[in-house]
Structure formats: C-alpha cells, structure tokens
Chains A and B, each alone.
Chain A
Amino acid sequence: MAVDEKVIQNGILGMGLRGDPKTGILRGFGVILAINSVDYLVERELDFIRAFPEAERMAENALVDAAQWCANATFGGMMKSPEWAGLIAPMVSSKRDTIEALHAVQNTLGWGRVIGYELDEKNTTYTMRVQHSYYIEPYLGRHGRSERPRCYMWLGVAAGNMDLVFGTKVHSFEGQEVKCETMGDNVCEFRVKQKRSLFDLM
C-alpha cells in the first residue's frame, strides 16, 4: 500500500485541529500544538539573526538546531502516537514510505509544500525540495531579495527527517539549503548527508 498524501491530509485536517474550548490547549500526535502567525515565526528569527551581525552563522545554527530537535521530538512522537498507528502506519513499510508519510504530514501544517525528494539509502543522502515555504512571502515582502538562504526551520526538519528515517540520534545528519526562493530560485532545495564521525576521518 503506497503512501496516500490525500488520505493523510484529510485525516489530519478532519481532526478539527483547534485549541480546546475550555483550556485553549491542543494536544494531538503526542505533542502540544499551537497555530502561530507566520509573520511572527519568521520575524522573530530574522530579528534574532540581526542582533548578531558579526556572528550570523552562529545565530542561524541555533535556529536550525531548534528545528532539528523539533523534527525528532515532534515527528518521532507522532510516529509513536495512536493517531499515526491508526491513520498512517498501515501505509508504511519502507524508509521511502516513512519519508513520504513525513512529507504528507509536513504538507498539512501551513509550512509550504514538499514537492519532491531523492533518497539514497546506500549513501544516506537526501535532497528535499519545497515551494511556498512560509519564509518566502514575509521575507520578500519586507526585506527584498536575500543574498543567503533563509528557510532555517525547513533545513532543521530536512536533517531531522533523516535522523528519524534511519533511526539515529538527533543531529546524526546535517544539511544545507542550496537554493532558496528568497534568493530568486523557483524552489527551496535542501541537501542532507550523514555527519562524519572522527573515526571516518582517520
């Protein structure tokens, strides 16, 4: 049985995702969700980076790190949840299925759309392509074209997807955003590979 994105999407959105009318808390898939303003998500990150003009890379890494942990804990938690067992697990029987199921879930969250990927299981590399990433519109609208890639959350999630698919600990994989719509590309592209251990370098 192949992964059916539409079934997953309808299943998730059909859960009527909103905060509980009494507590205002939304628990599902083993996590606590909130519906955040995209402008808020993007501007807080850009402002954080702007605070460190001499150390932009360090600030960017802190954002990617948060997203990679998020991917591991959130989607790792989701994969153990009763909702996943009932709705998604019956469609999944390989690493490729797992990554497609993760894409299907990620495509329901308002983050933009994963439109393609390549997974090389032997060499443990992965390329993921996204359009309409939620960074693009706010970035281009307020800051104009960027000279560097900006989709920090997606980069962490791409590497996190590989941590999950290969069942390794968090940060076993690392990635790079090699194309970004904020730079004028027509797609955002993320390339992920396994981190080299000290042993590999000897």
Chain B
Amino acid sequence: MSHDNIVKAYLDTLGFDPNKSVLTIGGSNVAFHCDKFNTRILKNIEDVMGYEEGSALLKGWAMKTSFRELRKFLVDGPGAGIFSALDPRGRMEAQFEMFKVLAYGAVEIDSLSELGGTFRSRTSYLAEGWLENKSAWGWELRRGPACHDMCGHIAAAMCLAYGKPEGSYKVSESSCRTVGSEDCVFEAEGA
C-alpha cells in the first residue's frame, strides 16, 4: 500500500529558520548528522560503557524521543487524520516511510501482531555507516549488532501502531550486517 499522503503531509511540515539555523519536521527540532559522527559516537559510547550498557542507552533514548516525536505528528498533529484511519500494519508501513524520509534506511515487515513482530532492513543507516567506515578507520569486526537506534525507533512505532503507551514493546536486533549477516533483522515483543 502506498503511503504517499502521509509522506507528503510529513514533508509539508519541514521548515528551516535561517536566522537561527533551526530545522524542524513534524513539529520537532531535527539536525543533519553524518555516518562519521553517528558511528564514532556509537563506538565511543560502546567502548567506554561496554556493549550492553551502551546499547541500552542508545535504544532507550531512540525509543523515548521517537515515541514523543512520532506521536506529536501522527496522533496530535497534521498526520492524525490519515494515521488513525489505518490498521496496525498500515500504521507500521506509514511510519517506516517516515523513517525513509529521515534517512534511517528502509524497513520491511516479515510478521506483525499485537504481541510483536519481525522486521528486516538491508539499508539500516548505522549498519550502512559502520560498513562504510570500518575499512577506512581500521575498525575490528563488531562483537554485536550496531543498529541500536533502529531498535528504539521500531519499538516506538509499535507502540503507536497499537495505540499503547511508551515502552510497551522491546526490540532487539537478532542479526546485523555489521557482523556479517545479509540483512539486519529486528524482533519486537510486548514488554
């Protein structure tokens, strides 16, 4: 199903204030950053905190901020009319189209129910960035998946698809391109 209407409504909210150099979309402040910055931050946080704690921090904030900001547009903002008319699968697809606008990569649904789901990406942003920088910066193979941000974004999307409060789903990445898998695979389950 095409979600051109929600993408158009989302892009219509894109604004830039040249006097402050402030960029907004969907009523929230956003900023461009590149793979170099985000993968360095990821690596420094994991190296200093340890993999598990670093992953939890990044997933947690991605989930909280995504939930707040998706809800601002899709529930309380200009996307509400379109979003509320969709079934849960349509809502997930619509949010994945918004993730593409934000350049997070493309995500597809393998399975989905209120209890959870499985999702797949061949272009998840952080994996794409990590693979690009690994050889340039001589980084070693990763010990675990890299797409902590995407886990948080998907967890937030699940909450909104099923009209549940923040934190109702947990998402883990069961395979990742940065550790040699063909796709990044994300498993969601009710928390």
Determine how close the nearest CB of chain A comes to the CB of B179; give it in whole angstroms.
19
A33 interface neighbour in B48, B103, B149, Cβ under 8 Å = B103
B134 at the interface (CB under 8 A from A): no
Q: Are B41 and A110 in contact (CB under 8 A)?
A: no
A32 at the interface (CB under 8 A from B): yes
CA distance A62 to B37 in the complex (A): 12
A128 at the interface (CB under 8 A from B): no
Taking CB atoms and an 8 Å cut-off, the chain B residues in 115-164 that contact chain A are 123, 125, 128-129, 132-133, 136, 149
Task: Given A66-B37, A109-B32, A134-B29, verify A19-B23 contact (CB < 8 Å).
Answer: no
Q: Are A69 and B61 in contact (CB under 8 A)?
A: no
CA distance A47 to B68 in the complex (A): 18
Q: Which of B12-20, B85-93, B169-177 lies at the interface with chain A?
A: B12-20
Chain A 47-69: CB-based contact to B (< 8 A → 1; otherwise 0): 11001100000110011011101
Q: Are B21 and A107 in contact (CB under 8 A)?
A: yes
Q: Please give me the residue from chain A that is nearest to B133 by CB atom.
A: A73
A185 at the interface (CB under 8 A from B): no
Q: Are B37 and A70 in contact (CB under 8 A)?
A: yes
Taking CB atoms and an 8 Å cut-off, the chain A residues in 8-25 that contact chain B are 9, 13, 17-25
Q: Are A44 and B61 in contact (CB under 8 A)?
A: yes
A110 interface neighbour in B31, B47, B100, B129, Cβ under 8 Å = B31
Contacts of A108 in B (CB 8 A): 16, 21, 32
The main secondary structure of chain B at its interface with chain A is: helix
Q: How large is the interface on A (under 10, 10 to 19, 20 to 34, 35 or more residues)?
A: 35 or more
Q: Please give me the residue from chain B that is nearest to A114 by CB atom.
A: B21
A43 at the interface (CB under 8 A from B): yes
Task: Given A24-B100, A37-B69, A110-B32, verify A63-B61 contact (CB < 8 Å).
Answer: no
A199 at the interface (CB under 8 A from B): no
Contacts of A113 in B (CB 8 A): 19-21
CA distance A52 to B38 in the complex (A): 21
Q: Are B103 and A39 in contact (CB under 8 A)?
A: no
Q: Please give me the residue from chain A that is nearest to B43 by CB atom.
A: A66
Taking CB atoms and an 8 Å cut-off, the chain B residues in 94-113 that contact chain A are 99-107
Contacts of B188 in A (CB 8 A): none
A176 at the interface (CB under 8 A from B): no
> What 6 A-B pairs have minimum CB-CB distances, sorted nearest first?
A110-B23, A24-B100, A19-B103, A70-B37, A110-B31, A66-B40
Beyond A32-B128, A44-B45, list 9 extra A-B contacts (CB 8 Å).
A24-B125, A36-B30, A43-B64, A58-B48, A66-B40, A70-B34, A109-B21, A109-B33, A111-B21
